[in-house]
Amino acid sequence: MAASGTLTSFRLPPLPTIREIIKLFRLQAVKQLSQNFLLDLRLTGGWLISAPEMSPPHPWGRGPGDLARTLWARVQDKIVRKAGNLTNAYVYEVGPGPGGITRSILNAGVAELLVVEKDSRFIPGLQMLSDAAPGKLRIVHGDVLTFKIEKAFPESLKRQWEDDPPNVHIIGNLPFSVSTPLIIKWLENMSHRDGPFAYGRTQMTLTFQKEVAERLTASTGSKQRSRLSIMAQYLCSVQQVLTIPGRAFVPKPEVDVGVVHFTPLTQPRIAQPFKLVEKVVQNVFQFRRKFCHRGLGMLFPEAQRLESTGKLLELADVDPTLRPRQLSVSHFKNLCDVYRKMCDEDPHLFAYNFREELKKNKSKFQEKDDTERYRL
């Protein structure tokens, strides 16, 4: 492990290009795992050296075919730069794949880079990078959804929540299939100040489908306003810092990709348990085209639904004819605060699930219908 507090100037030695790594290890992106390799060097950055025997094609699809003995100067590293100053930082990269962004992070002068990769096919290529960067790159073959990062980095990096963010960063080109459950998991970690946030207000720079990125950052009234907007924005400062065209990836996804930067707030904008906030927000947005009272009503049993929904809206000072996308974080704060008081008054209320009640009612109706048919 690299020593904390020691600034070093590090540059990876000449290595095969990412295209050559993919060819060398016969790597193919698996559609079922939502894998897409980022190959555009203008986005991942890094030194690129072509040995005479390699003679690779031009990475941007034009120019001379033979680039032997040519050193391409390091181009602007857009994704990693959006994470901020990584000099002497400890970085946790999720889903490194063939290692395109991994190279850029290493070249940013980090103290240590920890990568977690589930797909064993990528481990040999990452090990090649580790050999080229002794003491800098640590590889874990595992699942980012279950990996415990709390003890991965030195205790000395931990900061009080109210202090500046620690010198710990999360960076990742996330597979589309896990991006939403993973960010929800990390937002819950953030609310509890555990997981990656045991070190303090750890910053994250992550890729998502452009549509998901727009939902995460959508403002009040936007058509993209969603459950993700509220869950992210009540806990973080969220910014979409870059849009990457799909053509930069192999295979090319059907959509463009957005890079989103998250900085946890010192105080959440809703001071209620994560699960309670999540329940209120989910109920509101499940009927996103209806007035907000429609979804809020599903928080209450049918027998008291009309009365309790009216009470909730009145005490929260929320117009029942607003659409879900028109509700601000302040609106949700009021709704969650009032709903919490109602749950305190009725200990069984929070456990109520309208879908379970609906199933029971259908079952009773079916039994009644079967009995009547039997009599006939």
pLDDT in tens, 160-177: 999 999 999 999 988 778
CA–CA distances in Å: residue 164 to residues 202, 265, 365 = 9, 10, 58
Least confident of 18-32, 71-85, 100-114, 181-195: 18-32
DSSP secondary structure letter of residue 251: S
Q: What is the mean pLDDT of residues 45-61?
A: 33
Given a cut of 50, whether residue 358 has pLDDT beyond it is yes
3-state secondary structure 333-348: HHHHHHHHHHHHHCCC
Question: Contact, 67 vs 41, CB < 8 A?
Answer: no
pLDDT in tens, 227-279: 999 999 999 999 999 888 766 655 565 678 899 999 999 999 999 999 999 99
Given a cut of 90, whether residue 374 has pLDDT beyond it is no
Pure H helices in 196-249: 210-217, 227-233
Whole-model pTM: value is: 0.79
pLDDT, residue 365, reads: 54
Q: Is the dihedral of CA 152, 158, 163, 168 positive or negative?
A: negative
- Per DSSP (E only), the strands in the chain are 37-38, 48-49, 71-72, 90-94, 112-117, 137-141, 168-173, 203-209, 236-244, 249-250, 257-264
- 245 HSE (CA, 13 A, CB side): 4
pLDDT, residue 101, reads: 87
What are the φ and ψ backbone dihedral angles of 283, each rounded to 5 degrees?
-65, -40
pLDDT, residue 63, reads: 39
pLDDT in tens, 282-335: 999 999 999 999 999 999 999 999 999 999 999 999 999 999 999 999 999 999
Q: What percent of the chain has pLDDT over 90?
A: 59
Given a cut of 70, whether residue 54 has pLDDT beyond it is no
Given a cut of 50, whether residue 32 has pLDDT beyond it is no
**pLDDT: is 77 or 332 the higher one?**
332
